[in-house]
Amino acid sequence: MNGHNEETEGGGWIGRLWRQIIQGSSTEKDHVTLATEHVVEIADPVIRQARHYRQVLREPVAGAMSYFQTLTDVIPGPVLLHRNRYHDDPLIKALFASPEDLDELLRLSPEINALRQQGHTGEVVAMMTMVQNEHTIFGSKQEGEMLLREVQMQAVDFSNHRVVAPAGDLEVTKSGIVNRGLEVLASVAMERITTLRARKAELTGKREYLKGMAKIYSGKSYRQTMFAPPDMKDREELRKIEQLLDEVNGEFEELQAQIALPEQSLGYLEEIMRQPEKMLSAQTEQLRLNWMGVRVDNDPDSKGNDIQLAEFFVQNEFRRSAVLVSFSLETIPDP
């Protein structure tokens, strides 16, 4: 789930919202208003020209926020990230190939470094997401007194780690995750609106070109008829141009009815905000892995460790595993 560094505890609309909560002046209405302006800015700022856009979006934005809040409850953790725990915590060992990989993630994370630059210190909570990879390996397996060789097994590892919404408080981190969910929805609306506008602009250019070509052939035919019979080849070419122009005009009128007004962009954003579960979903995932990272879920005789993750799905585009983590900024070396 892509987002912006501004959602860290000290900046952006999430930061403003958290400061309001601390000051005791925030209400549910304030939360929704801030979120509404955020998604409008991403989807299409022209929406602000539509009458009563905030009232139209209040219910669907509030519903989407509530939905994403329930998704944060699916994420296990927080798990303490520290290289000294690598060999003691089966989950950390499963998620990272080595203690050095763990250190590198924390040291190079743009989100963590943004927090440090803002002067934050102490303990931090965040969501960590990663890609789960499964591949087939062959190894030995003990069954009773027999040692089987070249047994097909499924090994699991994780890559492409990302620290998301780090903050000094778990609730602020969860608010940052909700923000990411809203940004996903807003970006889907933006893509739809931009696609329609781009196609409309393309058709506008095509219409002008065809109108120009029609004038050229019409003028050429007119000159010919002044002194000679019409050129049938040119007349046929003009007929094709006019037919194509009619088709382009028809498609242009259809698009005009879909994207000409701010209220239409508002309608697309409202529709998407009312269906957050179609864009982003999450579920709990249970894995049982042995010391080599091989799945032994269906092998009760094999020793293994049970680990629990959340799995996020963004439409049909990608899926990522997730867990809440905590760590100390003081133990992370400078990038």
Supply the pLDDT for residue 139.
Answer: 67
Report residue 228's pLDDT band, with 50, 70 and 90 as the boundaries. low
CB-based contact 14:21 (threshold 8 Å): no
Q: Are strands 123-143 and 318-328 parallel, antiparallel or unpaired?
A: antiparallel
Q: Is residue 143 predicted with pLDDT exceeding 60? A: yes
If you average pLDDT over residues 223-238, what whole number do you get?
A: 64
CB-based contact 254:269 (threshold 8 Å): no
Supply the pLDDT for residue 224.
Answer: 55
Phi-psi category of 264—alpha, beta or left, where left has phi over 0 and alpha has psi -120 to 50?
alpha
Q: Is residue 102 predicted with pLDDT exceeding 80? A: yes
Q: Is residue 227 predicted with pLDDT exceeding 60? A: no
Q: Which of 37-51, 133-147, 238-252 has the lowest mean pLDDT?
A: 133-147
Extents of the domains making up the chain: 5-188+273-331, 195-262
Q: Is residue 8 predicted with pLDDT exceeding 50? A: no
Q: What is the pTM of this model?
A: 0.76
* Angstrom distance (rounded) from CA 212 to CA 278: 45
Q: Which of 131-140, 148-157, 240-249 has the lowest mean pLDDT?
A: 148-157
Q: How far is CA 209 from the centre of its chain?
A: 38
What percentage of the chain reaches a pLDDT higher than 90? 54
| Residue of 123, 106, 109 lying closest to 172 (CA atoms) | 123
Supply the pLDDT for residue 165.
Answer: 94
Q: Is residue 107 predicted with pLDDT exceeding 70? A: yes
Supply the pLDDT for residue 21.
Answer: 44
Q: Is residue 192 predicted with pLDDT exceeding 60? A: yes
If you average pLDDT over residues 162-183, what whole number do you get?
A: 94
Supply the pLDDT for residue 124.
Answer: 95
pLDDT tens digit sequence for 286-314: 999 988 888 888 777 678 889 999 999 98
